[in-house]
Structure 1
Amino acid sequence: MERKSVAGSIRNKERSKKKFLDAVGKILRTKGYTALKVNSIAATAGVDKKMIYSYFEGIDGLIDEYIRSQDYWSKVNIKEIEKIKPKLDDGGKSFMEEMLLSQFDHVYSSKEAQKFLLWCLSEPRKSLKKLTETQEENREHIFKLLMDAHFKDNAEDVRSIVAIMVSGLYYLNMFSSLNGSIFCGIDVNTPKGRDQIKKAITFMLHHTYENL
């Protein structure tokens, strides 16, 4: 009986934690990061606000955990890359193509991710700074593992190109969500327009590998 009771407590805790994290996402999506207050999060989650301190050591811990759960490139970490075992003989081309296309779709389909990106640009926060450091560590691992040896003296040029592609894809999704879907004559909110962007991603990446 005691073992079942412990297991039940663990499940209840995990359910409550998920409710808090989901509440952060809902508030961020509908009202923005300025509305993330203890009382509003607890009310949205339907869980006693005291549990925020018990489970996360306060609102900062809760928000920090939410941030880690939402960022695309933080999930592409060293362990995940090792599980995927990307091809090495193409200099990381197929892996980077898949990552860029997946990033494009992920941000488009997640309003929370879009609000999260705006948050990153709007407020200085220790956890956000730590997040960017984690992103850079993961990207550095990708470059060193897959691309630096392939491009050699041109490796820094490739990093610049990837930086423009990653940030550009972020911006297109955020722009199409907030202030209109047409950018440079392409409707990013239509299947045709998104396919055009994806074809451009593939073209730029392949052109980079063929010419550097």
Structure 2
Amino acid sequence: MKNNANLCKRKKTSNPAPKPRQSRNIAATKQRFLDATGEIIQESGIKALRINQIAKRAGRNKRLIYEYFENLEGLIRVYFEQNDYWLSYAEKIEDLLDSHMHDNGRELSSLLLKNHFQNFMSNKLLQQVSIMELTGNSKLLYELSNSRELLGERFFSLSADLFRNTGIDIRVIEALLIGGINYMVLHSISNGSTFCGIDIRAEEGKNALRKTLHQITTWAYEEAEGKKIGGLKKLREILIIELKQNDELVNFGTVLEVKELALFFEVVILSFQEKQVYKFKKDQSIFIQN
């Protein structure tokens, strides 16, 4: 019996579970490599990154870089993903979208641009990556750019319905603003002079740029909202005429070309000549109850 008991004990201890401390050590070592990568970038630029230098700076065996990140590119990729302004929103994108659906992303649009300016102004990595994207041909940078684009599509989904069929292209507006921010920052750092008389190194220039970013996005949203309201008024006028001529059914397909009837849902609560609109159908028809 004792032998069996000892055997059971040996079986239980032959394959011990990974210790929490060991996992913490791995995470800490990974972070040391990432920190060392950032320090070298700040001091000498991205092109100075080498396996040996990173391992030496981190005080760890370079073999662990291959074990944890596969290679130098894998390490750089993880570092970029953690420190890229836009990609930093990836894990909280759903919460952001949910909390800004009420205004079609109006407040978020302005906030993201102002935060991008502040981040790009102070983040040497992002500045170097931006220059490399323009001057080099890197598969890694191409993939990171695509990841930003995919994330950007999620943000644009907030305002898609509002800007549809308004003639206002919010994507072009955002592209011009982000491109303008990047150029003004790089110009101020490399050239040191003003741009259009604006010195964004000074607090006055920074505040002026933030204010203008907010103004432009606000104008775009207000213009789109105005066009939607104008469309509703026109739709009401057409409906009144059609309702007088047809007591049973109004088919939107023959009244007005509207691909997204949900945008005009307000219409269904209207009453005309004591006839109450009571049912809204996806087949683009509204039924009238006498």
Q: Quick one: higher RCO (CA 8 Å, sep 6+), 1 or 2?
A: 1
Q: 2:95 aligns with which of 61, 74, 83?
A: 83
The aligned runs of 1:43-54 (5 Å cut-off) are: 43-54=56-67
Task: Calculate the aligned-residue CA RMSD, in Å.
Answer: 2.1
Spell out, residue by residue over 1:20-68, the C-alpha distance to the aligned partner (whole angstroms, 9 max, x if none).
1112112222212221111111122222111111111111111111111
TM-score, length-normalised on structure 1?
0.89
1:199 and 2:211 correspond: yes
| Contact persistence 2:114–2:210 (CA under 8 A) | yes
Q: Which residue of 2 aligns with 1:104?
A: 117
How far did residue 210 of structure 1 move? Answer: 2.0
Spell out, residue by residue over 1:154-195, the C-alpha distance to the aligned partner (whole angstroms, 9 max, x if none).
477111011111121122222222321522111111111100
TM-score, length-normalised on structure 2?
0.67
Determine which structure has more spread, i.e. the larger CA radius of gyration: 2
1:162 and 2:177 correspond: no
Q: Which residue of 2 aligns with 1:139?
A: 152
State the number of aligned residues: 209
CA 1:148/1:115 → structure 2, altered by over 3 Å: closer, same or farther?
same
Letter in 2 for 1:153: N
In the alignment, the residues of structure 1 paired with residue 83 and residue 133 of structure 2 have an alpha-carbon distance, to the nearest angstrom, of: 12
In the alignment, the residues of structure 2 paired with residue 6 and residue 172 of structure 1 have an alpha-carbon distance, to the nearest angstrom, of: 50
CA 1:87/1:58 → structure 2, altered by over 3 Å: closer, same or farther?
closer
CA 1:116/1:89 → structure 2, altered by over 3 Å: closer, same or farther?
same
In the alignment, the residues of structure 2 paired with residue 23 and residue 80 of structure 1 have an alpha-carbon distance, to the nearest angstrom, of: 27
| Contact persistence 1:33–1:119 (CA under 8 A) | no
In the alignment, the residues of structure 2 paired with residue 32 and residue 171 of structure 1 have an alpha-carbon distance, to the nearest angstrom, of: 19
Query: Following TM superposition, where does structure 1 have runs of at least 4 consecutive aligned residues deviating by more than 6 angstroms?
Result: none
In the alignment, the residues of structure 2 paired with residue 60 and residue 155 of structure 1 have an alpha-carbon distance, to the nearest angstrom, of: 43
In the alignment, the residues of structure 1 paired with residue 107 and residue 206 of structure 2 have an alpha-carbon distance, to the nearest angstrom, of: 19
Secondary structure at 1:180 match in 2: coil
How far did residue 204 of structure 1 move? Answer: 0.8
CA 1:156/1:138 → structure 2, altered by over 3 Å: closer, same or farther?
farther
Secondary structure at 1:76 match in 2: helix
Which sections of structure 2, spanning at least 5 residues, go unmatched? 1-15, 225-290
Q: Which residue of 1 aligns with 2:250?
A: none
In the alignment, the residues of structure 2 paired with residue 30 and residue 134 of structure 1 have an alpha-carbon distance, to the nearest angstrom, of: 27
In the alignment, the residues of structure 2 paired with residue 34 and residue 111 of structure 1 have an alpha-carbon distance, to the nearest angstrom, of: 13
In the alignment, the residues of structure 1 paired with residue 24 and residue 165 of structure 2 have an alpha-carbon distance, to the nearest angstrom, of: 53
Secondary structure at 1:202 match in 2: helix
CA 1:36/1:122 → structure 2, altered by over 3 Å: closer, same or farther?
farther
1:55 and 2:68 correspond: yes
Q: 2:220 aligns with which of 190, 208, 211?
A: 208
CA 1:86/1:172 → structure 2, altered by over 3 Å: closer, same or farther?
farther
CA 1:99/1:126 → structure 2, altered by over 3 Å: closer, same or farther?
same
Q: 2:107 aligns with which of 84, 91, 94?
A: 94
Q: Which residue of 2 aligns with 1:123?
A: 136
1:172 and 2:172 correspond: no
Percent of paired sites with the same residue: 32
| Contact persistence 1:91–1:150 (CA under 8 A) | yes
